[in-house]
Structure formats: C-alpha cells, structure tokens
Amino acid sequence: MRLVGMVAGALLAGGLASACDSEDSTGGGTGGAAAATFDASECGQCVGQACTTEAEACATDPNCAAYLLCLHQCPLDVLGNVDGDCEAGCPIPASSAAVALVSDYTFCRLDGAGVSCAACGFASILGQQCSASAETNVCWKCEEEKCCDTFHACYDDPVCSQIAPCLQGCALTDAVCEEQCILGNAAGMEFFGPRMSCVFAQCPTECGPVDPCTACIVE
C-alpha cells in the first residue's frame, strides 16, 4: 500500500533519532508540574522540535493550521501525550491538500521522529522481551519476536485495531482514503504509530513495503 511506503520512508529517516531529554514521562515539563496543554507540555515541545518541517508546512494552510491549533490546545492523557478524545474531535480538513499536510504531521508525530520523544509515553521500541515464534512468514515472525508489546498494544485497543481493516478497504492508489483512515481513528494512533515504528526499525528487511510483508504491516 502507498501508505506503508510513506510511513516506511518517514521511519527510516527519523524513527531511530535520539530521544529528547526527559526525566519525567508524564509530560510534566519544568519541575514536573503538569502542563495544561499539549503545546506547552514536555511531549509537545519535543515533538515540535522533531517535526518542525511538517508543522511549518501545515501552518501555511489555513485548514491544516486550524487542526494544528486544536491539537496544540488539547489536554494530555495519562502517558503525557495528546488526549485521544480531544484529538479525534479536532476538525478534519475538507481539502485533499490540507488532509495531506495533516497526515504528514501526524505520521511524523506518531510514526516517525516523534516516536523518539520519551516524554510522550510511547512504548519502548527497542528491547521488547518476546518469545520465540513458530510463524513461517518472515515478517510476522520478526514482529512476534521483536515487537510483541507494540503489536498487542495496538491489537487490544478497540480504535487502533480498526485502522488496518480501514486501510485494507481503500483502493490501492486512494491516498485520501488512507489518510482519512488515520485521521478518523486518531485516538488509536498512539498505539498504531509505535507498532509501525517497531516493525520498520526492527524488521526493515523482513517487513519492507513489498509483498508479502506489506500485508503484515496492515493486517
């Protein structure tokens, strides 16, 4: 799928960047005091640095900028990231150009360089303790043996688990459909992003964006 290729490129470019310095994974900011909004939080500040290019591009489009403003004003969840319900309520742009800009920023924040922000509460990508797998598909086997925690976190979440079926329902070249699947299930991206990040970080050969591995990422 086109989406998988886009995410793969973003992950390989920035997904393994060094984590932003943080002593508190709650997004508490200076002195550990809880930040009122995502924009003011330790997580938000880290993402702002990691995804500067995408955020600046979004700000040039009024519709994308409105989405970004809404997101920045959202409260935090218990992990220190954007509250999922608030994020899901932010206005999805009507134009395909604005949707693409929001999608690019979202991919960076949740699938790319933003995943390195420890203050955002993402599951650790490296060093997951997984059991040996008897799976014969090399991609599935790699994910089960190296990304078991991030896989199950997504699979067990009612919103995250709907993202892959939604993507599978899109036509091969329908980028807008794919982007709507992501934006329409924004509350699940806190789990989908780390899952994708782990697969492409830990299994780049086994799960490159080619068959049969493409099916692994979106299944």
The reported pLDDT for the residue numbered 216 is 42
Q: What is the mean pLDDT of residues 199-212?
A: 71
Residues 154-182: what's their mean pLDDT? 89
Q: For the whole model, what pTM was predicted?
A: 0.55
Mean pLDDT score of the chain: 78
- Residue 190's domain comprises 2-218
Q: State the Cα–Cα distance between residues 105 and 66, nearest whole angstrom.
A: 13
DSSP class of residue 75 equals -
Query: How many domains does the structure of the chain reveal?
Result: 1
In contact, 116 and 17? CB cutoff 8 Å:
yes
> How many residues comprise the chain?
219
Q: Please report the pLDDT score of residue 73 as a whole number.
A: 96
Q: What pLDDT shows up at residue 123? A: 61
- Which residues face 137 on adjacent strands? none
Region 65-76: mean pLDDT is 95
CA distance linking residue 125 with residue 112, whole number of Å: 12
Q: How many CB atoms lie within 10 A of CB 100?
A: 18
212: pLDDT confidence band, cut at 50, 70 and 90? Answer: very low
Question: What is the per-residue pLDDT for 121?
Answer: 77
User: What mean pLDDT is predicted for residues 2-7?
Assistant: 38
CA-nearest of 115, 122, 105, 189 to 154 is 189
Give the dihedral sign, CA 45/127/4/75.
negative
Confidence at residue 35, expressed as pLDDT on a 0 to 100 scale = 53
Who has greater pLDDT, 157 or 118?
157
